[in-house]
Structure 1
Amino acid sequence: FSSDLRGHGFRIESLGGSELTKMNEEFEYTAYENDLPVRTFFIGPSNPNFRPLNRISPLLQMAIMQSEDGGFYYHQGFLPGAIQEALAYDLQVGRFARGGSTITMQLVKNVFLNRHKNIARKLEEALIVWLIENQHLTSKERMYEVYLNLVEWAPLVYGACEASHFYFEKEPSDLTVEEAIFLASIVPKPKHFRSSFNEDATLRDSQGGYFRLIAERLCAKGLLTEEEAAAVRPEITVKGKAREMILYPDSIR
């Protein structure tokens, strides 16, 4: 399961109505659930909840990257090993259960493509990823900025700013290391964030291993000292709307 695609005078004549450089400027993004649009907002300065990278904590940036795609700044959009494992699992269970997705692949899927999981869409996804990465249509920094502003962190809560205020009532630039690691842990399961908590809104003990792992990686990247990493515990104080949803789930409609 390996291949190499080199372009010699290669160009795309037509690719539907997609403008493959649209992430370079402000653009309108629509979030979908079960193939239905649920919310539309702008990724850019006209959105009061948009935050450029320099206004998002480096701790949060690195925690998510180490959790989702540690080689994002170094690969060209694909992790063949992860895709191979996902494909083997999908064939085993007879459906698209795992994606082996990098951050670039997640962006392409959400920004450019429909939500129908089939072979044709996966091929489209692979082609667009290859074009964006190999022809440098959008910088890695801008891609990550877009990703952090559209990723879902709870039902209908999108982007680092909304997530920071939803869980902690603060700006994403002001997050503690524990808060940053917690937010990274939610990205794969935003609609089920309450499963991370006990009934009193404290984190479950099962979160300890994840917190230690990400703290060690933050230390290896130079964002924490060894002493700071060793002191990290799965302890956060959830506030506002998130706290209400954890403590009083039956009252939320």
Structure 2
Amino acid sequence: MRLLRNLFLLILLVLAVDVGRYFFIPDVSRLAHTNPGKTAFMEYRQAEWRSEGRDKTIEQRWVPLKKVSSSLIKAVLISEDNNFWHHEGFDFKAIEGALEKNIEAGEFKFGASTISQQLAKNLYLSPSKNPLRKIKEAILTWRIEQTLSKRRILELYVNVAEWGDGIFGIDAAARHYYGVRASQLTASQSARLAAALPNPVLYKPTGSSRFVKARAKHIYAIMLRRGLVVPDYREVMTASDTPVVQPPDSVVVGVPEKLIQDSLLPDSVRYDSSPEPVPEETSESTQPGN
């Protein structure tokens, strides 16, 4: 009995050390100025290929966030982490909703991982749903959020996220599926790429999957509703202007009445008058939306 108890305590100690080390290693601060090499998720995939006897290589091309289509960024945020700018690594409301759905389903089917959590998993862990792995992920997520800016987290994520069998990072995905650079992705292409993220090996952005089509349509609809996409933008902006005739007796909005009256005086009177100082314009500051 004593032997079993000591063995149990030893196992607990080993598990505590295994989990606790993630409070100190790896050095997350390096990510602020250094792009990671091969991620743990890439190594996991390569191990799978070797076990299956497949000779495959990783496709990845790093790009700065400023060279990624803004449509892609918006589509990914809508798809994966709608509250990204407001949480500190964990979306507790989404977690609560996922737990309720899993209880109803009687199995672990729904997740609520934020982009920060997914980044931690992709960089350092595996896709396993082991509870210990989730604890390690939580520790790493907390450290990442404390150390890196939101912009850098997003930049890292779109460059290491898996977008297909052996395809990692948005630039490799854009070239593989659409033959364009990451900066050239359209809104509809971005919506389909974001729609495939839940299982990019199973669902291809350019495939015929009903799941991808429906999810991409939903993401695109949200982009439209939020004003992130302007339909037929090129057609609207390149169309010829319609001639507009200003009625002679119309009131010009925003022009002081005195200036309008002065413009009706003879030149000799108007230009002999001393000009009054022009009042400074004031404007209310607005908070940009998400």
What is the TM-score when the length of structure 2 is the normalising length? 0.60
Which of 36, 43, 46 is matched with 2:47 structurally? 36
Match runs of 1:160-179 below 5 Å: 160-179=170-189
Partner of 2:117: 105
Unaligned 5+ segments in structure 2 are: 1-19, 50-55, 234-290
Partner of 1:62: 74
SS in 1 for 2:86: coil
Root mean square deviation, CA, Å: 3.3
**Alignment partner of 1:147 is 2:152:** no
Match runs of 1:1-253 below 5 Å: 15=23, 17-24=25-32, 25-30=34-39, 31-33=42-44, 36=47, 49-90=61-102, 96-133=108-145, 135=146, 137-194=147-204, 197-198=207-208, 209-225=214-230, 227-228=231-232
Structure label with greater radius of gyration: 2
Q: Which has the higher strand share?
A: 1
How far apart, CA to CA, are the structure 1 residues paired with 2:179 and 2:119?
A: 27
Matched-pair contact (CA < 8 Å) for 1:53–1:145:
yes
SS in 2 for 1:71: coil
Shift of 1:96: 4.8
Partner of 2:10: none
SS in 2 for 1:197: coil
Matched-pair contact (CA < 8 Å) for 2:22–2:136:
no
Residue by residue over 1:81-135, the C-alpha shift from the partner in whole angstroms, topping out at 9 and shown as x without a partner, is: 22223345556777654431010010111213344432222122222222332x3
How far apart, CA to CA, are the structure 2 residues paired with 1:216 and 1:210?
A: 10
How far apart, CA to CA, are the structure 1 residues paired with 2:168 and 2:78?
A: 20
How far apart, CA to CA, are the structure 2 residues paired with 1:35 and 1:167?
A: 21
**Residue identity matched to 2:74:** M
How far apart, CA to CA, are the structure 1 residues paired with 2:130 and 2:22?
A: 21
Between the two proteins, the alignment pairs up a number of residues equal to 206
Unaligned 5+ segments in structure 1 are: 1-11, 199-203, 230-253
Partner of 1:250: none
Shift of 1:175: 1.4
Matched-pair contact (CA < 8 Å) for 1:96–1:117:
no
How far apart, CA to CA, are the structure 1 residues paired with 2:211 and 2:130?
A: 34
SS in 2 for 1:190: coil
How far apart, CA to CA, are the structure 1 residues paired with 2:154 and 2:130?
A: 26
Change (3 A) 1:156 1:41: closer
**Residue identity matched to 2:143:** L
Matched-pair contact (CA < 8 Å) for 2:69–2:183:
yes
**Residue identity matched to 1:142:** R
How far apart, CA to CA, are the structure 2 residues paired with 1:57 and 1:26?
A: 20
Change (3 A) 1:95 1:109: farther
The alignment-based identity, stated in percent, is: 29
SS in 2 for 1:153: strand
Change (3 A) 1:122 1:216: same
Partner of 2:245: none
Shift of 1:140: 0.5
Matched-pair contact (CA < 8 Å) for 1:79–1:100:
yes
